[in-house]
Structure 1
Amino acid sequence: MNQSNPPAQRSRWFGLAVLCAGMFMIITDGTVVNVALPTIQAQLGFAQADLTWVVNAFVVPFGGLLLLAGRLGDLVGRKRMFLIGLVAFTLASALCGLATTQAMLIGARFVQGVGGALAAGVILGKITTMFSDPKELGKAFAIFSFVLSGAGAVGLVLGGVLTDAFGWHWAFFINVPIGIAGVLLAVRVLDDDEGLGLSGGTDFLGAAMVTAGLMIGVYSIVGSTERGWSSPYSWGPALLAVVLLAVFLVRQSKVSNPLLPLRLFRSRNFSATNGLQILYVAAAFGMFFVSALYLQLVLGYNPMQIGLTFLPMTAVTAVVTLGFAAKLNARFGERQVLIAGLIPVAVGLGLLARVPVDGTFVVDFLPSMLLLGAGGGLVVPALTALAMSDVPPVDSGLAGGLFNTMQQVGGALGVSVLAVFSTLHTQNLRAAGEPDAVALTSGYQLAFGITTGFIVLCLIGVVTLLRRVSKAAPEPVAETAS
């Protein structure tokens, strides 16, 4: 592909915009739905225990299928896989909005998760093959990283507006026009890529093992939030997931055409960044989860106010990510920028661990939001670039799918761990006679302290495990313009 051809350059950036819009819609949907849950519960008559499946019915297939989706994109074409996923997600969103029963909503959410995984699983791989120039690729990663960082907060605000003004159905209907526009634009502006083809045979048994293992693993994590890890319904599925994934890895070392080539893990950066991302995302997702609970249950904020609380962080993230991240990565290297970004994140979370019962936004939240926005704006682009730095183009879809999978595992694990520890601590304080607000606040302080520990561990891992990345440009991958 000719880097100096202006029409081709514009096509790549338009293509990036379409990919990012698809990812933005998928991520935003999660937080929009979270805000709408109380209204959904009241109108469809969900019991409290069953209401979690409005969320989990999406999370389980989404987390479980990302790896398979990435590899299928390598084999049959990433554009084709993105389109299939976007169409499925859009149709399922319409069904969610039309749902009149609990079963219909949960079933449609499952299909949403499948479609979301098929689309999201190939996006990083597609971006990597669209931009062969390192500077352009750095800018593309920065833009994509901003979408990842900002979509959750935007979803909180959007969810409050849509639910209050139009009803919970529009938390899903809003995806339909966006999805249709995304499909039409993707057909037009994304480059065709043929993929490696399925003629050489595909490890379907391995695909079944890893998909089942990841789905069961995500199910066990999200379920432990309510049941605790002492329940056999939590540790039983977790044990089964570990066995399935272990057998899958053994199989990949023996079959001639593995679904997950183990050569990828020879790269120290690829292996380490996937593990470090679990820690970082566990802290980030956990921060959103605990902050929303504290703002709602202790300070009495409504959904709209909760969403607005995170807007300063989103604004700072946008400025840092889009204005500075790519330049700093090119100047100092991703490893150094990652270290510089993790430090303010750790400080911001440490400040949240001191939130009082009578906290205020300006004193107790705004400083942390600014620090988290500045640090996160550096961390996510650097972490993404490091993860993909040593990956050959033919495996970029698989690598991107695995990277996104670790993000989902980290998010589910972080929420689960924080929910269990903060709830137990709160219950112990209530039993000791502490007022409800004091007990809740102390539980949330503990949870914020745990997220701070996650970031400290992540920082140690960056210093000890990661190496500097060579700035040599990767070999370009020829693609046929659509």
Structure 2
Amino acid sequence: MAGIKGELTSLLVTVSVGSRSMLYSRPAEVFTEMSGRAWAVLAVLCGAIFLEGIDVAMLNVALPSIRADLGLSTGVLSGVVSAYVLGYGGFMLLGGRAADLLGRRRMFLLWLTVFLLFSGLGGFATEGWMLLTARFVTGMAAAFMAPAGLSLITTNFAVGPARNKALLVYAGIAAGGFSLGMVVGGLLTALGWRWVFFAPVVLSALILAAAIPLVRDGAVPERIRGGFDLLGAFSVTGAMLLLVYGVVRLEHLGDGPVLTVAVFAAGLLLLALFVVNERRTPHPLVRLGILRSGALVRTNVVALLFVGSFAGFQFLATLYFQELRGWSTVQTGLAMAVIGVDAVLAPVLTPRLVDRFGNSRVVFGGVALAVTAYVLFLPTDIDRAYVAMLPAMVLIGVAFALVYGPLTIAGTDGIAEKDQGLASGLLYTAFQFGFALGISAVTAVEVAAVAAGRSEIEALRTALIVPVVAAAFAALVAAFGLRRTVATESATHSASTQLTRV
């Protein structure tokens, strides 16, 4: 324990020194094959992304119990979810660049500690403001931790079989964490909703204890020159916060659009300020040239639409099972648990499919399966048997297995080592914007349908069209926008062939 305490103290001191010190820790060996140590490092980093996924899913299932115990209004309860999205989406780009500038390992360990502390605060909450604070800071911690963890993988594992294997396992664990979280959240909520916050504290502590001796920066140590782009940091973070908040407010358009429009306008104004600043400053926070990569931009568009479609579907399915069907949190979690099949299929099936058909075709096939799944769920009624809904749940799990991993690879493929944290931050920003947009869009449609005089089940079916449309657009971009050159695709095939033999 003393060693851990000393290490964390060192982290804080080094980060505070800023550009005047050597901010990278002793570099690790770059793994070219999946050795025992490579698997140990990967397990720690996968544990962190699993923690982030399971934390979000458990809370979603526990919301009705939290409201009943603390007597929260609908607005405050919605804010508990929105606060996390605001913290995560608002600080994601800053988190990705901070990993590149201040050291990926240091950012990972520091913000994992913050995640641990504020998750515990949520468990002790007795009023709404405590929950809101805890969720906002927890989301902010995830915004720094997630891109640092992903960039640690892309810099610790060599390009080719080792990196592809690591990324596919990482993506499978991330998606599986969210799926498993719905089941675990139901079980823990049955014991008491506070366990939904305390369980991540225990898991965070175990991951932190293992990460300190195992994880090392994969980049060559270098001295950061020049100052930190504070104007860029504040303007882009403010823009992200306002834009995410604007997305969250879409569900309140019925109360008047003035505030929502003002929030979006202010966010776009700050974003314009950020772009102007990045073009002029000698030490930009975000190198805008990275956005010249059409493949990178299209990958992030697919990520936003794909995750947005699932977020909207998952939100509606939870309401359907619990509020319209009257199922318990445990029953709801078990009903959606089959989606977690992606955690098994991603590291086993996806590499072989990428080897045979290529990365872009696998992504397109996965998104097409998601469209099919949402269409199959559309005719849902109050008394529909679960067995009739099961094919849709299975297809969603398979879709995640085929899409999430290859998208994670595509989001950082061909990016310079010095920009890996930034590329990771862009990808996770797309994921988070997609999540916020998906939930807000289906909520707005459902509320409008109810206001138009439709029954609750009819309104839900109307809102279910949103995930269908979003996934269809994602499939369109994947079909025509993710094609790579023959040489690149052949290289991917060769790497995947070796990957399946690891």
Superposed pair shares fold, TM > 0.5: yes
- Report the counterpart of residue 422 of structure 2 in structure 1: 398
Counterpart residue number, 2:152? 126
- Equivalent position SS for 2:349: helix
Take 2:214 and 2:135, find their aligned partners in 1: how far apart are those partners? 29
Q: Residue 212 of structure 1 contacts residue 241 of structure 1 at CA under 8 Å; is this kept in 2?
A: yes
**What's the counterpart of residue 58 of structure 2?**
32
Query: Whole-Å Cα distance in 2 between the matches of residues 427 and 408 of structure 1?
Result: 29
Q: Distance in 2 between matches of 1:16 and 1:59?
A: 26
**Residue 377 of structure 2 aligns with which residue?**
352
Contact 1:63/1:218, CA 8 A, preserved across alignment: yes
Matched, 1:73 2:99: yes
| Structure 1 position 384 matched with structure 2 position 408 | yes
Q: Which amino acid aligns with 1:231?
A: P
Shift of 1:103: 2.3
Can you list the C-alpha shifts for 1:300-336, whole angstroms capped at 9, x where unaligned?
Answer: 2111111111112212x12321211122223322101
Distance 1:207 1:81 in 2: 16
Q: Distance in 1 between matches of 2:221 and 2:71?
A: 46
Residue among 172, 183, 186 paired with 2:211: 186
Q: Return the alpha-carbon distance in structure 1 between the equivalents of residues 145 and 159 of structure 2.
A: 24
Q: How many residues align?
A: 461
Structure 2 residue ranges without an equivalent (≥5): 1-28, 493-502
CA distance in 2 between partners of 1:16 and 1:246 (Å) = 38
Report 1:167-316 matches (<5 A): 167-192=192-217, 193=219, 197-228=223-254, 230-315=256-341
Q: How big is each residue's C-alpha offset from its partner over 1:190-240, in whole Å with a ceiling of 9 and x where there is no partner?
A: 123566544322211001000011011111211222344842222211111
3-state secondary structure, aligned to 1:310: helix
**CA 1:178/1:319 → structure 2, altered by over 3 Å: closer, same or farther?**
closer
Distance 2:70 2:245 in 1: 23
Q: Is the 8 A contact 2:32 2:158 kept in 1?
A: no
- Conservation of the 8 A alpha-carbon contact between 2:30 and 2:155: no
Secondary structure of the 2:452 match is: helix
Superimposed CA distance per residue, residues 154-192 of structure 1 (whole angstroms, 9 cap, x where no aligned partner): 122111111211x12111111122111111111111123
- Segment drifting more, 82-91 vs 385-394: 385-394
Change (3 A) 1:229 1:451: farther
Instruction: Supply the distance in 1 between the matched residues of 2:180 and 2:256 (Cα, whole angstroms).
Output: 36
Q: Give 1:104 deviation, angstroms.
A: 2.4
> What displacement does 1:13 show?
1.9
Q: Deviations over 1:237-257 (max 9, x none)?
A: 111111211221232222221
Q: Which residue of 1 aligns with 2:441?
A: 417
- 1:84–1:118 contact (8 Å) kept in structure 2: no
* CA displacement at 1:345 relative to structure 2: 1.2
Gaps of 5+ in 1: 431-438, 474-482
> Whole-Å Cα distance in 2 between the matches of residues 274 and 253 of structure 1?
22
Q: Which moved more, 1:99-108 or 1:321-330?
A: 99-108
Aligned to 1:479: none
Task: Tell me the equivalent position of 1:466.
Answer: 482
Letter in 2 for 1:243: L
Counterpart of 2:25 in structure 1 is none
- Partner of 2:264, secondary structure, is helix
Contact between 1:348 and 1:371, CA under 8 Å: does it hold in 2?
Answer: yes
Secondary structure of the 1:108 match is helix
- The aligned counterpart of 2:398 is 374
Match of 1:427 among 447, 451, 459: 451
Q: CA deviation at 1:111?
A: 2.0
Give, in whole Å, the separation in 2 of the partners of 1:134 and 1:411. 30
Structure 1 CA distance, aligned partners of 2:431 and 2:32? 35
Q: State the Cα distance separating 1:39 from its structure 2 match.
A: 2.3
Classify the secondary structure of the residue corresponding to 1:357: coil
Q: Deviations over 1:377-399 (max 9, x none)?
A: 10111111111112111100111
Give the AA of the match of 1:390: G
